Structure 1
Amino acid sequence: MTAHSPKPADHQTSARPKLDAARVDRQRPLVQPWPQAGSIGTTLLGPIGSGDGIYVTDEAGRKLMDGPAGMWCVNVGHRRAELADAMRDQAMALSYSSPWYTTSAPSLQLAERLAAHAPGDLDHVFFTTGGSSAVETALRFMQFSNNVRGRPEKKIIVSRQGAYHGSTYLSASLNGRPRDLNWMDSLSDKVVMLSCPNPFQRPSGMDEAQFADFLVDEFRQVIERVGAENIGAHVAEPIMASGGVIVPPAGYVKRMFELCRANDILYIADEVVTAFGRLGHVFASKDVFGIEPDMITFAKGVTSGYFPLGGVMISARLLEELRRSNHPEAMFAHGLTYSSHPIGCAVALKNLDILEDGLLEHARAISPYFQKSLKTLEELPLVGEVRGMGLMACVDCVADKVNRNPLALDVEVGKRIDAHCQERGLLVRPLINMCVISPPLIITEPEIDRMTEILSASIRQTMDDLTRDGLWNG
């Protein structure tokens, strides 16, 4: 057990409900995210029973390193007594109050602290329930603002291939990952997709500086073709997380931001993953990439996954423009029952305490070791590239290192690696031919070494599997 997480009392352990395997086999009552039509309502993902520090334990009692930190979110680690206490104390004081006609002290305090951390004039926050609703809120605010200001045509949203911004209607319309929208409706007539800023897959004969020029020129041409008067916002993750931890070319983020600012296009930085320590700072936009966006969306690490909470940091300038408009009666008719939830905000305040009390510094200090250790996996023939920044990384597997071709014959290679990793004590997040790693920020150098050892052995075993099955010849 870790020092921060005392062992639960015996009565607490014995009271934890166990899955009734026979009943689950018959009914499969839980429908989990992203099911396929042919198996919907019949599948059950691996049950997890408990967590502690950087580890989780499955129902069979197997202890596993939580390589993805849940879903990029368990930044301070599992079983933090401080966060559990914050939830209980707030629930006993005030479990809920409606954000329509009341305000809770935790929401006010959290708003003040986030505004102090946010770059530029991002002095205001609208709280949501997670990342999708945060992006949805930012987009609806853009639409509302342009309506109020007499620019109803300024609604086009610019996104990128490989992007992931959420599962609600507007946010999902921006997704550019393979297969995300194949069978789902979207607001396609209001979205323009730019190229993915992945240097590993850049055109042949182009260096990274030229690739950056190409990407920025592409955006400039879109603005000229579509018209700046019709483009409301560019939404971008500083690092494209679920797209494969895409770290863009040097200078790209700032140049894209400057194009937006020059053409009166809102720049919305989607920091749902990169905020709250993943890159070593509360917000990464200015500290890492040198920009002060018009809005920043966040979620995940704001509570380290202990309670559903998200939000949008909004520029004071945008609110001032609304107050100066000719439509003081215009209402931003958007809200969520659980917006500004007092328990979520109380947890986020305590989570910030932990981050500010040395964990951000630890994340910045250990990140180079994390990246260097995982980079050694590039020695394996199956691994095309290991890329990342801070405490997020991706192992990208390819069939042909010279031509950088993904494994066309085995799109499930990531799942194969994950299965072998689990046998050895590590969870990773498989994404087709890639494996994503984003551990809790409390990880240590020996734990990073062990993680790398497991990944190396599991990739080698996967190479043997692919060779045996005739899917790869090395």
Structure 2
Amino acid sequence: MAAIKKPADQAGDPAPGRFQDAERHLIQPWPFAGTIGNEARTPIRSADGVYITDGQGRRLIDGPAGMWCVNLGHRREELARVMAEQAMELSYNTPWYTMSDPSVVLAKRLAAHAPGDLEHVFFTTGGSSAVETALRFTQFYNNVRGRPDKKMILSRGGAYHGSTYLSASLNGRPRDRDWMDGADDLVVKLSCPDPFRRPAGMTLAGFTNFLVDEFSDTIDRIGGDRIGAFVAEPIQASGGVIVPPPGYLPRIRDLCRDNDILYVSDEVVTAFGRLGEVFASGDLFGIEPDMITFAKGVTSGYFPLGGVMISARLTEDLRRSNHPQAMFGHGYTYSSHPIGCAVALKNLDLLEDGGLDHARAVAPYFQARLKTLEDLPLVGEVRGAGLMACVECVADRESRNPLALDNAVGRRIDAHCHELGLLVRPLINMCVMSPPLVITRDQIDDMVAILREGIARTMDDLRREGLWRG
């Protein structure tokens, strides 16, 4: 195979008419009604390592790693080669009545990394379809076992689990569901496990007790015989990198086990090295879920792939049922896609061969350097774990009130950082950082320096416009 060439620098504006073509034909994700179908966004022309290059030729640190997904960095020749080689060997096979070697080998290797008895994998096309699959499997499981009423799903404020109908019904972030319908009759939202916003005067231990008591009271109120599953990210990613209080998740896992509620750990973001492990649920949080959903970093964003790890206990229960003819009528045209699975195998090789070690080694430095931003008056808290973090801005630290600020403060910071050489992910009053795992200490220093200057310039803007007097 010929060598993979580096793209030529593409400085200057995009091709003539590109913005107009986007505004006429391309509907972007998460658009507003006032601009839907008439919007052009920042063009990205090329990428390399932890950097991306925009349409004007500016080189930026990719702070969000795409969308939490480019774990091993851009332009990894090993991943690109495998993708091309597998396409030439077998580009597709129907998963309805055939299988490919890459899917079988990947399933076996993932099972070896998963906690407990999560020995089975159902491959999907991404994170939303992975969560949707877990929820539909829960329904199927309880139907086959003669428990058609055990279908309620517990989720939490601040959660994000996807954009398909059932997965989106679990979302608990502000504005996600304001104008969208969902399966509200099936979902109960619990409190967000955000220690930063716990009631004034409450200790961390007291906050854990509050969350566990709320969970227990919800089971008593609804009835364990009606609750099918609890779905939770170990760390709420798009909710603002919410790290739960100590002991919370294991205690919730115990309550789920005691009430025969399936615990679904949504590791779409936290898996594949983001927290230094292939899966974080067992090694870092001390839980053995009934299912783990994954996507994003499984291929480092080079190919759409996701999946659900499923407990052997659940599949054995189904095989022992009185309904052997019952069919799990669920699947995707691109389930177990051979190219995606081949890329994931090479991605796993690279993680095991130094990628995870580097992520573990550099993560404490990443967290410590970002924590220095708390000396800025606009910053209420910097929090995170591994190579994911959030800078939350507040009007004042005493009230921790974000609403007195311009709601676009995150976008303001991102705009300044873009000019300075850094892309961040703005979330209302927060900026989220989750760079590629291959980032170096020097690049972390550059990231933090740019972010500090971007926040400082935003403070000047807010003061000048009379929106903040900090």
- Equivalent residues in 2 for 1:247-286, closer than 5 Å: 247-286=243-282
Residues paired across the two proteins, number: 467
Q: What SS class does the counterpart of residue 140 from structure 1 fall into?
A: helix
| Separation (CA, whole Å) in 2 of partners of 1:148 and 1:272 | 28
In structure 2, relative to structure 1, the CA distance for the partners of 1:397 and 1:91 (3 Å cut) is same
Shift of 1:21: 3.9
Corresponding residue to 1:380 among 376, 381, 389: 376
Shift of 1:15: 11
Gaps of 5+ in 2: none
| Separation (CA, whole Å) in 2 of partners of 1:143 and 1:24 | 45
| Separation (CA, whole Å) in 1 of partners of 2:114 and 2:250 | 17
1:77-124 CA-partner distances (Å, limit 9, x unpaired): 000000000000000000000000100000001001000101110000
Gaps of 5+ in 1: 1-5
1:44 equivalent in alignment to 2:25 = no
Shift of 1:295: 0.1
1:298-342 CA-partner distances (Å, limit 9, x unpaired): 000000000000000000000000001110000000000000000
The residue number in structure 1 matching 2:301 is 305
Q: What SS class does the counterpart of residue 282 from structure 2 fall into?
A: coil
The residue number in structure 1 matching 2:92 is 96
TM-score by length of 2: 0.97
Q: Which amino acid aligns with 1:22?
A: G
Q: Which amino acid aligns with 2:221?
A: R
1:429 equivalent in alignment to 2:425 = yes
1:4-33 CA-partner distances (Å, limit 9, x unpaired): xx8826xx64999x9434353265311110
Q: What SS class does the counterpart of residue 116 from structure 2 fall into?
A: coil
1:364 equivalent in alignment to 2:360 = yes
| Separation (CA, whole Å) in 1 of partners of 2:202 and 2:390 | 22
Q: Which moved more, 1:422-431 or 1:398-407?
A: 398-407
Shift of 1:380: 0.2
Q: Which amino acid aligns with 1:307?
A: F
% identical aligned pairs: 72
Q: Which amino acid aligns with 1:107?
A: S
| Separation (CA, whole Å) in 1 of partners of 2:304 and 2:27 | 19
The residue number in structure 1 matching 2:343 is 347
Residues 421, 454 of structure 1: 8 Å contact kept = yes
- Equivalent residues in 2 for 1:280-295, closer than 5 Å: 280-295=276-291
Residues 28, 44 of structure 1: 8 Å contact kept = no
TM-score by length of 1: 0.97
1:192 equivalent in alignment to 2:193 = no
Q: What SS class does the counterpart of residue 115 from structure 2 fall into?
A: coil
Shift of 1:407: 3.8
Q: Which amino acid aligns with 2:463?
A: T
Corresponding residue to 1:455 among 426, 434, 451: 451
| Separation (CA, whole Å) in 1 of partners of 2:453 and 2:430 | 16
The residue number in structure 1 matching 2:5 is 8
- Equivalent residues in 2 for 1:96-135, closer than 5 Å: 96-135=92-131
| Separation (CA, whole Å) in 2 of partners of 1:361 and 1:144 | 39
The residue number in structure 1 matching 2:134 is 138
The residue number in structure 1 matching 2:19 is 24
Q: What SS class does the counterpart of residue 287 from structure 1 fall into?
A: helix
The residue number in structure 2 matching 1:62 is 58
Q: What SS class does the counterpart of residue 185 from structure 1 fall into?
A: coil
RMSD across aligned positions (CA): 1.5
Residues 397, 407 of structure 1: 8 Å contact kept = no
1:147 equivalent in alignment to 2:147 = no
The residue number in structure 2 matching 1:3 is none
Q: What SS class does the counterpart of residue 436 from structure 1 fall into?
A: strand
| Separation (CA, whole Å) in 1 of partners of 2:10 and 2:453 | 38
Q: Which amino acid aligns with 1:456?
A: R
